[in-house]
Amino acid sequence: MEDRIPMTIQTNLTPISFLIWNTQGAGNQAFVSALKEVVRCNKPTVIALMETHMDGEYAESLLPKIGFNGHLRVDAEGFSGGIWLYWKREIINVGPINKSTQYLTVEISRNCEEPWFFTAIYANARSAKKNELWQFLKDFAQTHNKPWMLSGDFNDTRFGWERNVYSAETSRRTSLFNAWVGEMELIELEFSDPSHTWARGVAEESRKSARLDSTLCNSDWGLRFSDATVKHLPAIQSDHCPLLISPNGFSPLNVLNKPFRFQAAWLTHEKFQEFVHSKWSNDKPLTEALSSLSNDLQIWNKEKSLAINYNISLIKLEGKLRHELDETLFQEELLWYQRARVDWIKDGDRNTSFFHLSTIIKSWKNKIVALKDDQGTWITNSSDVKEHIMKYFQALYQEDKDQHGERLPMHCFPQLLDRWDVIITHCYREANFAADWCANKGINQATPIQVFDSPPSDLVYIINADALGIAWSRGIAM
């Protein structure tokens, strides 16, 4: 039972979100105004500001201006660095764990929920300092086993497309960063909107951009917050884009109708075949019958608890209901095995958490949280998204009335060759030849004609020979 998927606790608590931002200086009034507007539009629960270049007194003075009442910080060293953390105490509890000039780690908790770790990152550009950060985070991971999310300015990229200018040095740093992420067994959260979070330079020849800011998590955090999503907000008053992180996902696109999926675990239920036979409609067209059966299956799935919802009673009664529990585990494994589409794990291996995590990562990659319209504006409202999709396909398939009635330009098409008459004559001749052969065999309307999967090979040779003008024997061996 050590490999069971952790149960999700259903609560009515307010969803939380995080705003992560490398400010490159938080001392001017223009930035404060921009921060207030970003907070007003996105309503984050926790704010982490990096590279503030300011001391603690100014950090505390921001509390009433942005409407927050919880505060921790790492003070800047002169005019370098600085990490400020703000949160709303009435919504979450934040407890300090440890900090340095490159990170600030806290414990996030709420009533009725298991606490987890959050680390705000501001990695030093110097390799030696950055290696110190990687080593500390590695040591922290080895001594702590709670769900953990890390976000901020890692000052490195993982893939070539995350930079507009690449070199041997950036390639070396990318390899080291990926090696560290792999050794830590971290997962990167998928994001939407601009692919690069940092940009500098206004001229094309001097323009540089990269995705220096990202969000990582361990497998426990990924399993717990399977709907987690990251948005890259527009960069204002800083060269870096703010990151908006929602552990529970962003509405409303997640509430759109999902397509029907047949679950392999249904086949293990003793009543499944009986149910299908009772619900299948032989008197309906195939498409209509399948649609009706899919609706009945989804209702039956909920009523019979075949959705594999990890019933806690089965865990408590493990000793008495061992056989039924094993059957549930088998159904659960089939469900996540099918969704994960992992080929290198055998069907019988009990590794449900692996399948579940693989499914979550796949869903993060495939998730669409916004669409861009023809004017380049991102659409997130569900009704606007549906309207945009409908208009697109209506425009794609509607008739072009302007072209009706126009004469086609005949000179654009090749003329029919005289050989077409020859080919048509050959077709008729072969048809007559086949009819004569049938008559000679005594085949008529009263006798069923034998149907072949393909024409006799000799007949094919004759037709091809006629098309090429080659003489061929007219005899056919059926």
pLDDT at 448: 47
- Label the pairing between strands 208-210 and 103-109: unpaired
Question: What residue has token string 């590695």?
Answer: 138
Give the residue among 46, 400, 389 at the shortest CA–CA distance from 244.
46
Q: Is the pTM of this model over 0.75?
A: no
- Cβ neighbours for 352, distance < 8 A, ≥ 6 positions apart: 3, 4, 5, 329, 332, 333, 336
Does any domain span residue 12? Answer: no
231 and 281 share a domain? Answer: no
| Dihedral, CA of residue 287, residue 288, residue 289 and residue 290, to nearest 10 | 50
The H or E element that residue 57 is part of is helix 56-66
- Max mean pLDDT among 108-112, 306-310, 351-355 falls in 108-112
Structurally, the chain folds into a number of domains equal to 4
Does any domain span residue 9? Answer: no
pLDDT at 7: 36
Does any domain span residue 388? Answer: yes
85 and 187 share a domain? Answer: yes
- Cβ neighbours for 470, distance < 8 A, ≥ 6 positions apart: none
171 and 203 share a domain? Answer: yes
The amino acid at residue 81 is G
pLDDT at 416: 45
Q: How far apart are CA 478 and CA 459, in angstroms?
A: 9
226 and 318 share a domain? Answer: no
Beta strand residue intervals within 257-376, DSSP E: 371-372
Give pLDDT tens digits for 101-125: 999 999 999 877 889 999 999 999 8
Give pLDDT tens digits for 137-186: 999 999 998 999 999 999 999 998 899 888 888 899 999 999 999 999 99
276 and 232 share a domain? Answer: no
Does any domain span residue 84? Answer: yes
Give the residue among 198, 186, 179 at the shortest CA–CA distance from 140.
186
191 and 274 share a domain? Answer: no
CATH number, domain of 148, equals: 3.60.10.10
Q: Report DSSP state, residue 67.
A: T
Does any domain span residue 440? Answer: yes
Does the pLDDT of residue 280 top 90, yes or no?
no
Paired strand residues for 338: none
25 and 109 share a domain? Answer: yes
Bond into 64 cis (ω within 30):
no
Does any domain span residue 56? Answer: yes
Count CB neighbours of 1 within 10 A. 7
CB of 84 closer than 8 Å to CB of 66 = no
- Cβ neighbours for 61, distance < 8 A, ≥ 6 positions apart: none
Does any domain span residue 1? Answer: no
pLDDT at 70: 94
Q: Euclidean distance between the first and final Cα of the chain, in Å? A: 66
- Cβ neighbours for 355, distance < 8 A, ≥ 6 positions apart: 333, 336, 337, 339, 340, 342, 345
Q: How far apart are CA 48 and CA 19, in angstroms?
A: 6
Could you tell me the residue range of the domain that residue 351 belongs to? 264-366
The H or E element that residue 100 is part of is strand 93-100
Give pLDDT tens digits for 420-477: 444 445 555 555 666 666 666 665 544 444 444 445 555 555 656 655 555 555 444 4
353 and 376 share a domain? Answer: no
Give pLDDT tens digits for 187-240: 999 888 788 999 888 777 788 899 999 999 999 999 888 888 899 998 888 889
Give pLDDT tens digits for 7-43: 333 445 678 899 999 998 888 888 888 898 889 889 9
What would the DSSP string read from start to end of 294-310?
HHHHHHHHHHTTTT---
